[in-house]
Amino acid sequence: MKFNQWTLGLAAVGAVSLASAVRADEAKLSALQTALSNTTISGYVDVGANWTMGDQSQSVVPTYYNGKPIDGFSLNAVVVSLDKPLDESRWASGYHIDLNYGNDAIYGYNDGPIRQAYVALRTPVGNGIDWKMGVMDGITGYEGNTSFLNPNISRSFGYAVNPATYVGLLGTYKISDVISVTAGIINPTYSTSNISSKSYVAAVAVTAPNSWGFLKGSVWNFQTIQSFESGDQPWSYYNPGAYNNYSVNGTFNTPIANLKLGVSYDYVQELGSSYLGDGAIYGVYATYQATDKLSLAVRGEYLDGRYGTIVGDVVGTDGDAGQGSEITATIQYNLWANVVSRAEFRWDHIDHYGEFGINANNTDLCSLALSLVYKF
């Protein structure tokens, strides 16, 4: 085949154009890789089984899977997380997303599968203020939303009166290695129509320094959510109304190796009602790490809802006052890599008072539960 100068010229132009296009695509890909280079993907799959013995017609909240005691197998939660954490720079930025689905999933904004989705920022004021804005996990109470990080499989009474998630702005400032504070303003609930009304949240964490001997690393938390007006619903998705919540809890090391003790106190103040009052939940925890794979956890709670409020709803069938207690024992043995495997026995005793403290009756529920969580 013969090539003249025009043929060679056109070929050269085409080669240059192709090379330019490749470089442009490489530049786009490089920019994409740069944007995602510090993003991690993680999550977990939580499955389990439960067998409840007793009168299940009595409402017990929180129960074993998403509000009702059930007998059978369950997909508790599938959680996929995208995270770009803050680095050590003065003007650091990042983000975090949790997508989840299942019987025990935490449904966040607009009741969708988004448990968390927030932008994280740092402003170089003093030691640096770390900000979160968007949908985020609640920061009050002893137990959190990530199931396998809690001592037990089933949720506590105290978990029921603390917010699972909300939309707002939170700032955290570490005063020293001992004290850090978090404060912010939030929508009263992610499903409310009156989003112009706001609530505020505040928390102080105190960590025991190394000079405190065996107590070093122990943590006290002092937390509250406050309504700005009677129309707020600051912490409960399922129960509308106006409440203030006060939570004090802590986890403490002991002189016994691998034994930790925990305490929790939640006080709920009902607002704007002529006949309902306040209520409280008291909890104690003990966890013992027997071996690298074997651990034991025990939780006991007493719920005083005799004056009404949502605390009464925790053990009542129709929103009336009530009292209750529960004891939970959990054994964890991690036989497989990346798998948290646990078995649990729980006993609930409920005093259901009925309207204004009359027609009282007692109910007992027992439950056996199994949970397998694969972390990736």
pLDDT digits (tens, 9 = 90+) for 56-83: 555 444 444 444 556 789 899 999 999 9
Residues paired with 44 in a beta bridge: 79, 375
**Does the structure show a pLDDT above 50 at 30?**
yes
Q: Please state the pTM of the whole predicted model.
A: 0.82
Using only the alpha carbons of the chain, give its radius of gyration: 26
354 HSE (CA, 13 A, CB side)? 6
Integer Cα distance of 366 and 232 in angstroms: 35
CATH 2.40.160.10 is held by the domain 42-375:
yes
β-strand pairing of 40-54 with 72-84: antiparallel
**Does the structure show a pLDDT above 80 at 41?**
yes
What are the residue boundaries of the structural domains of the chain, listed by start? 42-375
Q: How far is CA 26 from CA 12, 19, 20, 29, in A?
A: 21, 10, 10, 5
- Output the CA torsion sign for 132, 134, 138, 140: positive
Higher-confidence residue of 61 and 252: namely: 252
**Does the structure show a pLDDT above 70 at 354?**
no
**Does the structure show a pLDDT above 60 at 22?**
no
Integer Cα distance of 226 and 15 in angstroms: 67
Q: How confident is the model at residue 263 (pLDDT cuts 50, 70, 90)?
A: very high
Residues paired with 222 in a beta bridge: 204, 248
**Does the structure show a pLDDT above 70 at 167?**
yes
Residues paired with 285 in a beta bridge: 262, 299
Q: Is 67 helix (H, G, I), strand (E, B) or coil?
A: coil
Could you tell me if 147 and 78 are in contact, meaning their C-beta atoms sit under 8 angstroms apart? no
Question: Residue 29: its pLDDT value, please?
Answer: 52
Helix or strand holding residue 54 (H, E): strand 40-54
Q: Is 93 helix (H, G, I), strand (E, B) or coil?
A: strand
Helix or strand holding residue 84 (H, E): strand 72-84
To 5 degrees, how large is the angle CA 317–CA 322–CA 323?
125
Count the Cβ atoms, other than its own, within 10 Å of residue 260. Answer: 18
Count the Cβ atoms, other than its own, within 10 Å of residue 129. Answer: 15
Please list the alpha-helical segments (H only) found in the chain. Answer: 5-36, 157-160, 309-313
Question: Residue 305: its pLDDT value, please?
Answer: 74
pLDDT digits (tens, 9 = 90+) for 99-148: 999 988 887 666 679 999 999 999 999 999 999 999 999 999 999 999 99
Contacts for 151 with CB less than 8 Å, ≥ 6 apart: 143, 262, 285, 287, 297, 299, 330
Question: Residue 321: its pLDDT value, please?
Answer: 57
Question: Residue 126: its pLDDT value, please?
Answer: 95
Integer Cα distance of 119 and 100 in angstroms: 18
Average pLDDT, the chain: 80
pLDDT digits (tens, 9 = 90+) for 271-329: 655 445 578 899 999 999 999 999 999 999 998 876 555 565 565 544 455 678 899 99
Question: Residue 35: its pLDDT value, please?
Answer: 62
